[in-house]
Structure 1
Amino acid sequence: MKILVLNCGSSSVKFQLFETETETALLRGLVEKIGSSSGILSFRAVGKHDFREIREVVDHEEAVGLVLSILAHPEQGVVASLSEIGAVGHRVVHGGQSFSESVMITDKVLKEIEHCCQFAPLHNPHNLKGIEGIKKKLPSMFQVAVFDTAFHQHMPAKAYLYGLPYALYEKHGIRKYGFHGTSHRYVAQRAADILGKPLKDVRFITCHLGNGASISAVKNGVSVDTSMGFTPLEGLVMGTRCGDIDPAVIPYLMEIESLNSKQIDALMNKFSGMLGLTETSNDMREIEQEASAGSERHKLALDIYAYRIKKYIGAYAAAMGGLDAVIFTGGIGENSRTVRRLILENMEFMGIVFDPKKNEDNAESISTGSVKALIVPTNEELAIARDTAALYESMRSQEKPGVEERQSLKANEKRELVLLWARNPKMNLYELTTLYNQNTGKSLSADVIGKEIKSLGLETLAEAK
C-alpha cells in the first residue's frame, strides 16, 4: 500500500510517498515559498536524479496539485496513476483535548481542527489547507490527521494543569498540551526495540532537540509529562525561544520597553533563546564553532542550554520513580557531540556512565551503566504513514464476516445512498460508506460504494462542487 504524507507550513509543503510493506520512502520533496512567483519545487525519487525547479506557486491548493502531478509524472514520478495511492496522512500540530490518537478525517474532525486554530494560529490553518487541497483534487481519498499533541493527552491532571484559577481551564482550555508528540512516540518505541524490552515495561526520557526542542517523560509507553506547554514557548532554551522564565518578567518588560502584546510575543518566540543569548546565531553548529574559538558568550549559551536539559532529566527521573534510558533525537540531539557531552557528564549518580569515544563516534549507545543513553534518529513522516495505514486497514476490516459482497446495489439501496450523499456532497468515500452501513445495518465495503458512486455520477458531481 502506498501512503502520501503531507506536512503543510505557512509557505511550504513537505511531502513523502511511502510503500508501507517495506516502509520505504519512494519519493520525498518540498514545495517552498508558496504565494510567490519564485516558488521552489525540489524532490528526490528512489533511483532517479534530484529535481529542482523555480516556478510560481500561488497557494497551498496549487502546491498540493503540484505534488500529485509529480507523483504520477511519466518520467520523474513513482506511480503509474494516483489510484495507486491508498490514503493520505497529514501532520496537524494541535488537536487540543479532543484527540488522543490519530483519526480518519471527517467533517466533524475538520471542525475540531478549526476550533484548535485559536491555540496554534501559525500552524493549524495551514495544515487545514493541505487537507482541503486533497479533498478538492481527490474527493474520494481516505485522509488521516496525526496530531503533534495527541501523545501527550494521557498526561495526568497534576502534570498538565497550571497554578491558575481552575475556571480559566474550564472556560478557555488553559493547560499544558505539549508538542513533538509524534517524534517522542516514535523514538520511544524504537528505543524499546533497540533494548529488546516491551515499551510498557520501561521508563524513558526522550529529548527532541532541534531549533525547537522539548523533553518528555515516557513511562510504560505513556507520556506522563513534557516540557512544552500551552504553546511551544514553555520549557527548554531553544533556537529563538526563551523557554521557562518568571512570568512577571513579561509585564515588567512591556512597561519599561513600551512593548505591546505582539511585540513581547515576538521577543520571546523569535529573538530569544540561543539567538538572544549569543546575539549572533541560533544555529548550534555556528555557536559551537564560536565557543571552540574562545568566545565566552557562546560557551555560556551552550552551558545554559545543556543545564536546562539536565535539570529536566533529573526532574522527570524523579517523577517516574526511576529511569531506564535517555534518548537523543532531532537535528541537535542526533548530531551535536558537544551538547550531548555537556548534558551527560557527571550523571553517574543516576546510573548514566558517559562514554566520550562512543559519543564522538555518534554510536547508537553512548553510555555504560544501568541507565542507557541512546541516539535514535526520528522519523515523524514514517510514524504518520504507519498510523494512516493502520486506520485504513482498520476501516476495511470492519466489514462483517459472512456478508455477501455484491457488485451493485438494489434500487431502494441506491435511493438511500443518493439521499445520504445529498445531505453532504463533500463527504469522502469512506465517510459515506461508514454512514451508509450505519443507517442500513449493512456492511458493504468502500469499493462497492465507490463503484455505485461512479455509476450514479456522484463522484463527478462532488468534484464539480
Structure 2
Amino acid sequence: MNQRVLVLNCGSSSIKFAIIDAANGEAPLQGIAENLAASHSQVRYTDGQNKHTINLEDKADHKHALEAIGRILMQFTELRSSLVAVGHRVVHGGEKFTHSCLIDDRVKQAIGDMAQMAPLHNPAQVAGIESAQAAFAQLPQVAVFDTAFFQTIPQHAYLYALPYNLYEHHGIRKYGFHGSSHYFVSRQAAKLLNKDIEHCNLITAHLGNGCSIAAIKQGKAVDTSMGFTPLEGLVMGTRCGDIDPSITTFLMEQLGYSAAQVNALMNKQSGLQGISQISNDCRTLESEQEKGNERAKLALDMFVYRLVKYIGSYLAVVGPLDALIFTGGIGENSSYIRQQTIAQLAHLGLHIDDKANKDMRFGRSGLISNEDSKSIFAIATNEEWVIAQDTIKYAFNA
C-alpha cells in the first residue's frame, strides 16, 4: 500500500510541511515557513534535488504561510496525486484525546475550544486543518496530539496543589507538549544505546522557540516541564516559563493590565525576546553576545540556568540515567547552549566531548559526551515521521 502522507506541523512561529512515506520516513518534498509574525518571514523547501526560498511579506501570519505552502504543493502534481492522507500536529488535546484520531467536525471544534490552553498553537492548527480539508477534501485527515505521549505521567506529578475540584470540573492539570518529538528521540536514543526502550531511563530536552524537557523512566514519560498550557517550564523564545503566579495579579491589580494583555505579555513578549529586547532567536543572541552585548548574554545565561535546574531535578526522578538527549532547533544546532549546560552538570557525571559537540549540527545525530561521562546525545528530531505513521494507523487501521 502507498503510504505517502502530507504532514502539517504548525508551531508557534513556524509551519513545517512534508510529504512523507510513513513506511520508511523518506520525504520527497519538505520545507518550513519560519519567522512568522516577525521580520524576514520566508518559506524554504527542498524537492529532493533543489532547494528553494520564497520570501513572504514581513510579519506574515500562519494564514499567509499556509497559502504559500498551498501554491508550492500545486507545482508537484505527481506527488499530490500520490497522497493517501493528511496528518496534523495538534498541540493540545487535553484529556479528551489520549491518542491520535480521524478529524471530523466534533474533533475540529474540540481543538478550537482548547485554544485558550495553547493560544500560540491550536488556532494555527485549526487553520491548517481547514486549509487542508479545502485542498484535499477526498483524503482522510488525522490529528496527532502532542499531549498523548504524556498520558503515562502519574497523578501525583500531573496535578497542581490546587483545590481538587478544579481538576475534576475544569481539567486543570499538567498535560505536557512536544510529545511526538520526545517520543521519537527517546526511541532513537534507545537504538543508539542498543537497549529496549522499556529498560531506558532518559531525559529529553526539546529546545526551540518553544522548549520542554521530559523525564522518561523505563520508556514511559513520568514528568515534563510544560503544564496546563505550553507556557510553564523553561525559558523560551517569547514565553516566560516558570514564574511566581502572583505576578499575574500584580500586573492586573497594580499596573492595570487586562487578562488579554497579561496573556500576550507572557506568551509573546517574554523569554529570550523579553530579556534581551533584541530577538527570540538563539542564533542572533549568540552572535550579539560575541560582540559584547550584555543583555544577550543575560538572556542566554537565564536560558541555560533554568535548563540546568530541570535536568538536575529530573535526574532525581528517573533514577540511574542512561542518556541525556538534546533536540529541537536549538538543542540540535547550538553547540554553545549544550556546552554551557553540561559544564554546570559535571558534578553529576555529565561531561562533553568538545569536538563531537561542535561537529554535531545540521541534522546530524550522535554521541557528544566523552568516555568518562554518562551518555549525552544530540538527536535530530523527526516529529513529521511520527505524525505520518500515526496518520496511516488511524486513517486506515483504527
Same fold (TM over 0.5): yes
Q: Identity of counterpart residues, as a percentage? A: 48
Q: Report the Cα distance in structure 2 between the residues aligned to 1:289 and 1:65, rounded to whole angstroms.
A: 33
Ranked by relative contact order (alpha carbons within 8 Å, sequence separation 6 or more), the top structure is 2
**Amino acid of the residue matched to residue 17 of structure 2?**
F
Alpha-carbon deviation of 1:101? Answer: 2.0
Report the Cα distance in structure 2 between the residues aligned to 1:393 and 1:273, rounded to whole angstroms: 41
Find the counterpart in structure 2 of residue 340 from structure 1: 338
What is aligned with 1:460? Answer: none
With the length of structure 1 as denominator, give the TM-score of the two structures: 0.74
User: CA 1:281 to 1:63, structure 2 compared with 1: closer, same or farther past 3 Å?
Assistant: closer
Change (3 A) 1:42 1:118: same
2:189 matched to which residue of 1? 191
For 2:335 and 2:116, the matched residues in 1 are separated by 38
Tell me, in whole angstroms, the C-alpha distance in 1 between the residues paired with 2:150 and 2:217.
12
Alignment correspondent of 2:95: 97
Say whether the 8 Å CA contact 2:101–2:394 is kept in structure 1: yes
CA change 1:151–1:289 in 2 (3 A) is: same
- In the alignment, residue 46 of structure 1 is paired with which amino acid? G
Residue 175 (structure 1) shift: 1.0
Secondary structure in 2 matching 1:253? helix
Cα deviation, residue 316, structure 1:
0.8
Q: Indicate the residue corresponding to 2:348 in structure 1.
A: 350
Per the alignment, residue 28 of structure 2 pairs with 26
Structure 2 residue 48 is the aligned partner of structure 1 residue 46? yes
| Structure 1 runs of 4+ with >6 Å offset | 9-12, 31-34, 58-66
Q: State the distance in 2 between where 1:290 and 1:59 align.
A: 27
Task: Look up the match of 2:19.
Answer: 17
Alpha-carbon distance between aligned partners in 2 of 1:12 and 1:93, rounded to the nearest angstrom: 13
Q: Distance in 2 between matches of 1:267 and 1:392?
A: 39
Query: Using the alignment, how far apart are the partners of 1:60 and 1:356 within structure 2?
Result: 39
Partner residue, 1:212: 210
Residues 150 and 179 in structure 2, CA contact (< 8 A), matched pair in contact too: yes
Contact 2:4 2:20 in 1 (8 A): yes
Segments of 5+ residues of structure 1 without an aligned counterpart are 396-465
Partner of 1:391: 394
- 2 CA distance for matches of 1:391 and 1:102? 7
Task: Indicate yes or no: 2:249 matched with 1:251.
Answer: yes
Greater mean alpha carbon deviation, residues 120-129 or residues 142-151: 120-129
Q: 1:303 to 1:389 in 2, by over 3 A?
A: same
TM-score for both structures, normalised by structure 2 = 0.86
Cα 1:253–1:21, aligned 2, differ >3 Å: closer, same or farther?
Answer: closer
Partner of 1:6: 8
Q: AA paired with 1:222?
A: K
Instruction: Give the AA of the match of 1:358.
Output: A
| Residues 230/19 of structure 1: CA separation in 2 closer, same or farther (3 Å cut) | same
Q: Which letter does structure 2 place at the counterpart of 1:299?
A: K
CA distance in 2, matches of 1:338, 1:389: 38
Distance 2:281 2:34 in 1: 21
Q: Is the 8 A contact 2:6 2:19 kept in 1?
A: yes
- Bigger Cα displacement from structure 2, 119-128 vs 322-331: 119-128
Moved more, 130-139 or 255-264: 130-139
SS at match of 1:6: strand
Q: Which amino acid aligns with 1:140?
A: Q
Q: Secondary structure at the match of 1:28?
A: strand
Q: Does 1:364 align with 2:366?
A: yes
- What amino acid is aligned across from residue 385 of structure 2 in structure 1? L
SS in 2 for 1:230: coil
User: Quick check: 2:12–2:210 contact (8 Å CA) kept in 1?
Assistant: no
Shift of 1:217: 0.6
> Which residue pairs with 2:78 in the alignment?
79
Which shifted more, 213-222 or 120-129?
Answer: 120-129
| Residues 335 and 357, structure 2, Cα contact 8 Å, conserved in 1 | yes
Q: Looking at CA atoms only, which structure, 1 or 2, has the larger radius of gyration?
A: 1
How big is the alpha-carbon RMSD for the aligned residues of Structure 1 and Structure 2?
A: 3.1
Q: Quick check: 1:169 aligned with 2:167?
A: yes
Count of aligned pairs between the two proteins: 386
1:376 aligns with 2:379: yes
Please state whether the residue corresponding to 2:84 is helix, strand or coil.
Answer: strand
**In structure 2, what residue type is equivalent to 1:79?**
E
Distance (whole Å) between structure 2 residues aligned to residue 53 and residue 274 of structure 1 = 25
- What letter is aligned with 2:213? I
**How far has the Cα of 1:60 moved from its partner?**
8.4
Task: Confirm or deny: 8 A CA contact 2:12 2:209 kept in the other structure.
Answer: no
Deviates more, 1:46-55 or 1:248-257: 46-55
Secondary structure of the residue aligned to 1:299 is: helix
Asked whether the 8 Å contact 2:215–2:221 carries over to 1, the reply is: yes
Q: CA deviation at 1:270?
A: 2.2
Contact 1:99–1:153 (CA under 8 A) maintained in structure 2: no
C-alpha separation between the residues in 2 aligned to 1:285 and 1:127? Answer: 26
What is the DSSP-based 3-state SS (H/G/I as helix, E as strand, rest coil) of the residue aligned with 1:24?
coil
Does the C-alpha gap of structure 1 residues 340 and 8 become closer, same or farther in structure 2, counting only changes over 3 Å?
closer
Structure 1 residues 348 and 117: CA distance shift in structure 2, 3 A:
closer
The answer to whether the 8 Å contact 1:324/1:370 transfers is no
Counterpart residue type for residue 310 of structure 2: Y
Q: Distance in 1 between matches of 2:74 and 2:52?
A: 16
- CA distance in structure 2 between the aligned counterparts of 1:291 and 1:138, rounded to whole angstroms: 46
Match of 1:462?
none
Aligned to 1:304: 302
CA distance in 2, matches of 1:255, 1:319: 38
1:326 Cα shift?
A: 0.7
Structure 1 counterpart SS, 2:78: coil
Pair 1:196–1:143, CA change in 2 (3 A): same
When residues 64 and 305 of structure 1 are mapped into structure 2, their CA distance, relative to the original with a 3 A threshold, is closer
Q: CA deviation at 1:242?
A: 1.5
Provide the C-alpha distance between the structure 1 equivalents of 2:368 and 2:63, rounded to a whole number of angstroms: 45
Contact 1:214–1:235 (Cα < 8 Å) also in 2: yes
Answer yes or no: is the 8 Å Cα contact 1:189–1:199 preserved in 2.
Answer: yes
* Cα distance, 1:378 vs structure 2: 1.0
What is the distance in 2 between the residues matched to 1:261 and 1:72? 42
